[in-house]
């Protein structure tokens, strides 16, 4: 095992600590009667829980990794560097804020570390579901209630779209991108199709419960933590052009054998 891989395990352990604190904050505000909800300039909601979780993670990283930069959905980048260069933590304090606001338990804190231009650690913590997923480069992907109660996970072996469970985000984004026909074609050709949305479809893919997950438009913090979990589980993760994710901000994730067919239907 290389020294770099050892370092990734240290970073993964830190990500668990960050997520433990984030879970305490977010669960205390989930379904709270006094939850404060504002609207951001892009018309998406943000709650006091989003802000508090990101502030907690940033404060902990400032102490534990003072030389690393941070990019978060709510407070931007901590310095002019980016994920293509030095080590940068990328945080989505609550992925699925609309679910959080409505009391739907499918939301999570996403924590990733980029180093050398690629994601080397990813952790997704969904405390309302009582489940967490994580991976470090070269060490496989795992899921469970926490780091001490977990099992290694892997993608399915499904090789044919008519046998596949196909997952996608809402149809409006595909329509905006001019790819709705391709999307609908995939849903018709698949054994089963469901729109689980946000992080959840990717985690079901990594566990082998579904076989593909696609989204037309994502921000870096939406996808950074998902990439190492899916790929360490044995899956493929690219953008719509077939370039390695995060690429152009779209996502095509699969168990591997189905990937070419998905790109043919949706790719540019």
Annotated binding site: 73, 92, 94-95, 222
Nearest to 111 by CA among 122, 99, 96: 122
Q: What is the DSSP string of 27-64?
A: HHHTT-TT--EEE-TTS-EEEHHHHHHHHHHHHHHHHH
Nearest to 77 by CA among 90, 66, 86: 90
Neighbours of 109 (CB within 10 A): 31
Rounded to whole angstroms, how far apart are CA atoms 238 and 67? 30
- Exposure of 80 by Cβ count < 10 A (0-12 exposed, 13-18 middle, 19+ buried)? exposed
In degrees rounded to 5, what are phi and psi of residue 253? -120, 140
Rounded to whole angstroms, how far apart are CA atoms 173 and 28? 32
Q: Which residues define the annotated binding site for Mg(2+)?
A: 73, 92, 94-95, 222
Rounded to whole angstroms, how far apart are CA atoms 53 and 186? 37
User: Which positions ≥6 away from 222 have C-beta within 8 Å?
Assistant: 92, 95, 110, 198
Beta strands 141-146; 131-136: pairing state: antiparallel
Q: Cis check for the bond before 246: say yes or no (omega within 30 of 0).
A: yes
Is the CB of residue 21 less than 8 Å from the CB of residue 89? Answer: no
Six-digit token string for 108: 């999570």
Six-digit token string for 63: 């102490």
């Amino acid at each position: 095992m290389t020294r770099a891989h050892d370092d990734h395990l240290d970073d993964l352990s830190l990500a668990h600590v960050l997520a433990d604190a984030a879970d305490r904050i977010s669960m205390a505000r989930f379904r709270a009667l006094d939850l404060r909800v504002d609207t951001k300039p892009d018309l998406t909601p943000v709650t006091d829980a989003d802000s508090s979780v990101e502030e907690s993670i940033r404060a902990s990283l400032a102490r534990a990794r003072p030389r690393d930069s941070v990019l978060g959905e709510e407070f931007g980048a901590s310095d002019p560097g980016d994920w293509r260069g030095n080590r940068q933590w990328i945080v989505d304090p609550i992925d699925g804020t609309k679910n959080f606001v409505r009391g739907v338990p499918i939301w999570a804190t996403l924590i990733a570390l980029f180093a050398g231009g690629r994601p080397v650690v990813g952790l997704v913590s969904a405390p309302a579901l009582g489940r967490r997923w994580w991976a470090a480069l070269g060490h496989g992907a795992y899921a469970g209630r926490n780091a001490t109660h977990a099992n290694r996970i892997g993608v399915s072996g499904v090789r044919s779209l008519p046998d596949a469970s196909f997952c996608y985000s809402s149809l409006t984004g595909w329509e905006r991108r001019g790819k709705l026909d391709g999307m609908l074609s995939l849903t018709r050709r698949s054994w089963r199709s469901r729109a689980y949305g946000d992080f959840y479809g990717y985690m079901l893919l990594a566990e082998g419960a579904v076989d593909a997950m696609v989204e037309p438009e994502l921000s870096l913090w939406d996808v950074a933590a998902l990439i190492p979990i899916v790929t360490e589980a044995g899956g493929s993760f690219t953008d719509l052009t077939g370039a390695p994710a995060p690429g152009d901000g779209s996502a095509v994730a699969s168990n591997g054998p189905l990937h070419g067919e998905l790109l043919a239907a949706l790719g540019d």
